[in-house]
Structure 1
Amino acid sequence: MRFLRQSLTGLFLLALTLAGLLYAGVLVKDAVQDRMSQEPRIPQARERIFTVNVVPAQGERIAPVMEAYGAIASRRELQIRAAAAGRLVELSEAFEDGAAVTAGEVLARLDPAPAQAALDRADADLMDAEAERRDAERALEIARDTLTAAEEQAELRAAAFRRQSDLRDRGVGSAALVEEAELAASSARQSVLSSRSALAQAEARVDQADTSLARARLTRADLARDLEDLTITAPFNGTLSEVAGVEGGLVSANEQLALLVDGDALEVAFRVSTPQYALLLDGNGDLRDLPVTVTLDVYGVALQATGRISRDSAAVTTGQSGRQLYARLDQARGLKPGDFVTVAIEEPPLDNVVRLPATAMNAAGQVLVVGADERLEPVMVELVRQQGDDILVRGDGLEGRAVVAERTPLLGAGIRVRPVYPAGQEPRQEAAVDDAELIELTDDRRARLIQLIEANPRMPEDVKARILGQLNQQRVPAKVVARIEDRMGG
C-alpha cells in the first residue's frame, strides 16, 4: 500500500508539471502572436547638431608678409694676397682668424731687401739718364751756335762773290778771282748744311735723352710701388678670415694670405617664385623698396635684423627658377656671412580683407557661415594671399558673419550647428527681446531645464552661466527652451 501511494503521488506531481509547462507555452505563443500583430513603432528621428569653432569675419587693412629663405653675405670682401714673391718677415698680432682690424693697419711685411736694391739701381739709372739729358742739351746749344756761325760765314762768302762779279763786269777784276769767290761761297753753303745736320742730331739726342729719362722714372716708380706693396695693410675696417700666412714663410706672387670681411656691410640674398616677384613690382615694373625682417633661429634664441630690398638679379641662373633678390641690412648684430636665415617681406597694405584659418576654405573657394536658425550657408570668397596657416580673402556678404574655422566632410549647407566663438569674441547679446520670443515656465519645467544644464559636463562654464541666468528670469527666450528640450529629447 505504501508503494502504491508513493507511485500515485509521483504521477500526480508529474501531471501538474506537464500541465504547467503546457500553460506556459500557450502564454508565450499568445504573447508572440500579439506582438507580431502590432504595427511597427518607428522612433522619432532627431536632428544631429554639430559643434563647430567659428571666427567672426572682420574686414581690415592688412599688410601681407611674404616669407622666403636666404643666406647672409657681405657687400665688401677682399682677398689679402701677396703682390710679389718673398719671405714674410713681419706679421701683425691681429693677423689671425676672427681678428678685427681697422683701415690702414699694417697686417704683414715681406722682406724688402731685394726690392730696395732694385730701387737703388733704378735711382742710379735715373741719375745717368738725367746726366745724359743735360749733356744732350749742351750739345744742342753748341750745334745751334755752330749753325749760326756757318750761316754768317756763308752770307759773307756770298757777298764777296757778288762783289767780284761786279768788278769783273766793270773790267776791273779777273775771272780767276770770281771763280775763287764762287768756290768759297759754295764751300760756305756746304758748311751750313753740315751744321744743320749736326743740329738735327743734337735735337734727336735730346729726344732720346728725354725718352730714357722718362723710362728711368717709370722704372723707378714701379720699383718704389713694388717696395710699398711688400707692406700689406687693411683697406677698410673688417674681420680677418681664412688666415694662412706664417712669419718666416715663403709666399709666391698672388698667393692668398687671408680674407677681409666687412661685417658692417651685410646683405641677404634670397629667392622668390615668379608670381611672388610680380607682387613686389610697382606700376612701372620696377622693384619696390620694401622693408624686410631677417630672422636666425638658433635653439630658440632668435637673432633679427631689418633692412630694405635693394636690387634683383640680372638673369636667371641655369637650372634655377624664380628671381634672386638682395636686401641691405641695418645693424645686423650677431649675424655672420653664410648664415641661413628666414626673410619676411612686408608687402603694401591691402584694404577690406578678412583673415581666416586656411582650413576654412575648400578647393572650390567657398567658406561656410552660420546663417539663420544656426544653419550653415556657403559663401564664395576670393583668395588674396596665403599667410602661413591663415589666408586673406574677400567676399560679398562675408563682413560680420561667423565663419566655420575648420571644414570637415560632415559639414555642408543646411547643417545645423552649435557655434563656439573664440574667447572674448562672442556676439553681443541684444539688450531687448521681443515679447513674442519670451515664454513663462512652470516651476517643474524650469527646475528640470536647470538640472539638465548643470549636469552637462561638455558645456563651457561661461556658456552654462549665461544660459542659467536666462532660465532664472521670469520670462525665458523660447528659442533657448526649444534648443535645450530638443537636445534632451522632448
Structure 2
Amino acid sequence: MHFLRRSLTGLILLSLTLGLLAYAGYVVSASVQARMERTPGGGARDEREFAVKVILATPQTIAPTLTAYGEVQSRRTLELRAKAAGTVTLLAEDFEEGGQVEAGQLLVRIDPADARSARDRAQSDLMDARAEAREAARALELAEDELSAARDQAALQERALQRQRDLEERGVGTAAAVETAELAAAAARGTVLTRRQAALGAEARVDQAATATSRAEIALAEAERRLAETEIRAEFAGALSEVAVDEGALVSNGEQLGTLIDRNALEVAFRVSTAQFARLLDEGGQLRRAPVTAVLEASGARLTAPGTITRASAAVGEGQTGRQVFARLDAARGLKPGDFVTVEVAEPPLTQVVRLPASALGSDGAVLALGEDGRLEPLAVTLIRRQGDDVLVRAGDASPELAGRRVVMQRTPLLGAGVKVRALGDAAAASGEATDETSEMMDLSEERRARLIAYVEGSRDMPDAVRTRLLDQLAQSRVPASVVARLETRMGG
C-alpha cells in the first residue's frame, strides 16, 4: 500500500508538471502569434530593402577652390625711433594706439634747444670761414698786383743794363756804370722772386679758406640735420601701433616710440602643400597671379577682401614644409595686420568632373550606384579635389559609366554591392504619384502609409510624445522624407 500511495503521488506530480509545461508553451505561442500579428506584413518577410538618398551624377565644368589659412600683414611697416636724446615736448593729437595720420604730419618733437644752439654756432663758424675766404681773395689779388709791378721793374732794369752795355761798346760808357746797372737788374729779379712767393702764399691761403668754408658748411648741414631729427614726421599715411611714449618723457637715442603701418598696403601670407603649390603654376613654371579671397569669420560677422597672388617665398624655412605664398589684398575693409584668415584661391576650371557629397565616396575609392534592378553597384572613380563637404571625381574616360547614374549620397556599413535599396520617392513614382527626389516632403501610397502607421502604433519602446508626433506627421498628405527613411530603416525595408 505504501508503494502504491507513493506511485500515485508521483503520477499526480508528473501530470501537474506536464500540464504546466503545456500551458507555458501555449502562452509563449500565443505571445509570438500576437507579436507576429502586430508586425507589418505578417510573419513572412521579404528581402530587406533600404531607403537611400541618391544624386544624379552630371559631368560639368567646375572651377575648384583651394582653401588655406594665413595671416594678414602690411607690406609697409615703419618703426618710429627717436634720432635724438632729450625730453618730448610735443605729441600729435593722433599719436596714440590706432591713431590715423597723414604723410608728412608732425608726430613727436624732442626738445630742440641744444640742437638749435649747435646750429647757430655752426652758422657763426661758416660766416667766419666765408669772411676769411674773402680776405684771402683780396690778399691774393694784391700779391698778384705786386708781382706784376716787380716784373715791370725788373724789365726796366734789364733794358737799362742793355743800354749801359751798348754805351760801353761804343766807348761812351764806363765799366762802373755797367756794373751798377747789373746790380740793379739782379736786385729787381730778386724782388720778382719775393713777390712770386707772396703770391703763392696768398693762393694757399685762398685754398685753406675754401677748405674751411666747406668744412663749416658741412658742420652747418649736420647741425641742421640734427635739429630736424628732433621732429619725427609720418613718412606715409597709416595707422599707429605699439605707442610707448608720453609728453614730457625722457627718451634716448634709438628708442622705439611706436610703429606706423600702412593701412592701404595689406597682404596675406599663407602656406600650402607642395602639391597645392604645383597647381598654382602655369605652363612655364611661373606662379600664376590667381585671384584670392581672404575671409575672416568671427561671432557671425564675415569680412572678405579680394586680392591677387604676387609672389612666393624664395626658400623653405627651417623646420617648415610646403610653400609660403603672398597675395596682395585690395579694399581690405575691416581687416588688420595679425588677423588669421581663411584664404580661398581660385584654380583653373576642370572639365568632365562630377560633384558629389564627401560621404558618397568610400575608403576603397568607389561610389555606390543604383542598378536597373534596384541593387547597388560599386563604381571606381578618380578623386580630383576635395571641396569642403563635397568631392570632385572624374567622370570622363576614367569612369565613363558614372555619367547619368544615380549615386548614393551617404554610404553606411549596411550598404554594399548587391544590396537592394529604394531611392526615396521611387515607390510613389511606381504607383503613379508625383514625387520629387530633391524635395524634403514626399507623398505616400495608402499601403505604405498603413505599414508605417502600424509600425509606429505597435512599437512599445517608443515614447508616447514621439509616437503622437509621428502619427500626426503620417496623417498629413505629404510626409517629410527624412521621417519616412528613418522609420523604414528601423523596419528593415
The alpha carbon displacement at 1:57 in A equals 0.8
Indicate the residue corresponding to 2:284 in structure 1.
Answer: 284
Secondary structure, in 3 states, of the residue corresponding to 2:373?
Answer: helix
Secondary structure, in 3 states, of the residue corresponding to 1:93?
Answer: coil
Q: Distance in 1 between matches of 2:205 and 2:326?
A: 61
Secondary structure, in 3 states, of the residue corresponding to 2:200?
Answer: helix
Secondary structure, in 3 states, of the residue corresponding to 1:244?
Answer: coil
Q: Which of 394, 403, 407 is 1:399 aligned to?
A: 403
The alpha carbon displacement at 1:192 in A equals 2.2
Q: Distance in 1 between matches of 2:63 and 2:181?
A: 111
Q: Distance in 2 between matches of 1:68 and 1:450?
A: 49
Secondary structure, in 3 states, of the residue corresponding to 1:457?
Answer: helix
The alpha carbon displacement at 1:258 in A equals 1.7
Deviations 1:389-437 (A, max 9, x none): 211111322211112223344444333322237xxxx89979x9xxxxx
The one-letter code of the counterpart of 1:78 is L
Indicate the residue corresponding to 2:235 in structure 1.
Answer: 235
Indicate the residue corresponding to 2:186 in structure 1.
Answer: 186
Indicate the residue corresponding to 1:359 in structure 2.
Answer: 359
The alpha carbon displacement at 1:124 in A equals 0.9
Indicate the residue corresponding to 1:484 in structure 2.
Answer: none
The one-letter code of the counterpart of 1:406 is Q
Q: Which moved more, 1:164-173 or 1:126-135?
A: 164-173
The one-letter code of the counterpart of 1:453 is R
Q: Which of 409, 417, 423 is 1:419 aligned to?
A: 423
Indicate the residue corresponding to 1:455 in structure 2.
Answer: 450
The one-letter code of the counterpart of 2:419 is I
The one-letter code of the counterpart of 1:200 is L
Indicate the residue corresponding to 2:314 in structure 1.
Answer: 314
Q: Distance in 2 between matches of 1:95 and 1:453?
A: 76
Indicate the residue corresponding to 1:206 in structure 2.
Answer: 206
| Matched-pair contact (CA < 8 Å) for 2:366–2:379 | yes
The alpha carbon displacement at 1:165 in A equals 3.0
Aligned length: 416
Secondary structure, in 3 states, of the residue corresponding to 1:456?
Answer: helix
RMSD: 3.5
Write the mapping of 1:236-315 to structure 2, written as runs, cut at 5 A.
236-315=236-315
Secondary structure, in 3 states, of the residue corresponding to 1:397?
Answer: helix
What are structure 2's unaligned runs of at least 5 residues? 23-42, 433-443, 456-469, 479-490
Write the mapping of 1:139-218 to structure 2, written as runs, cut at 5 A.
139-218=139-218
The alpha carbon displacement at 1:292 in A equals 1.5
Q: Distance in 2 between matches of 1:128 and 1:142?
A: 21
Indicate the residue corresponding to 1:132 in structure 2.
Answer: 132
Q: Distance in 2 between matches of 1:124 and 1:116?
A: 13
Secondary structure, in 3 states, of the residue corresponding to 1:264?
Answer: coil
The one-letter code of the counterpart of 1:454 is R
Secondary structure, in 3 states, of the residue corresponding to 2:401?
Answer: coil
The alpha carbon displacement at 1:65 in A equals 0.9
The alpha carbon displacement at 1:450 in A equals 6.5
The alpha carbon displacement at 1:49 in A equals 3.1
Residue 387 (structure 2) pairs with residue 387 (structure 1): yes
What are structure 1's unaligned runs of at least 5 residues? 1-6, 29-42, 433-448, 467-486
The alpha carbon displacement at 1:44 in A equals 9.7
Q: Distance in 2 between matches of 1:103 and 1:256?
A: 19
The alpha carbon displacement at 1:193 in A equals 2.5
Q: Distance in 2 between matches of 1:139 and 1:262?
A: 59
Secondary structure, in 3 states, of the residue corresponding to 1:153?
Answer: helix
Indicate the residue corresponding to 1:73 in structure 2.
Answer: 73
Distance 1:232-1:451 versus aligned 2 partners, 3 A rule: closer
Write the mapping of 1:463-478 to structure 2, written as runs, cut at 5 A.
none
| Matched-pair contact (CA < 8 Å) for 2:311–2:327 | yes
Q: Distance in 1 between matches of 2:197 and 2:428?
A: 117
Q: Distance in 1 between matches of 2:427 and 2:223?
A: 87
| Matched-pair contact (CA < 8 Å) for 2:50–2:492 | no
The one-letter code of the counterpart of 2:381 is V
TM-score by length of structure 1 reads 0.76
The alpha carbon displacement at 1:296 in A equals 1.6
TM-score by length of structure 2 reads 0.75
The alpha carbon displacement at 1:316 in A equals 1.6
Write the mapping of 1:23-172 to structure 2, written as runs, cut at 5 A.
47-172=47-172
Deviations 1:458-484 (A, max 9, x none): 99999x989xxxxxxxxxxxxxxxxxx
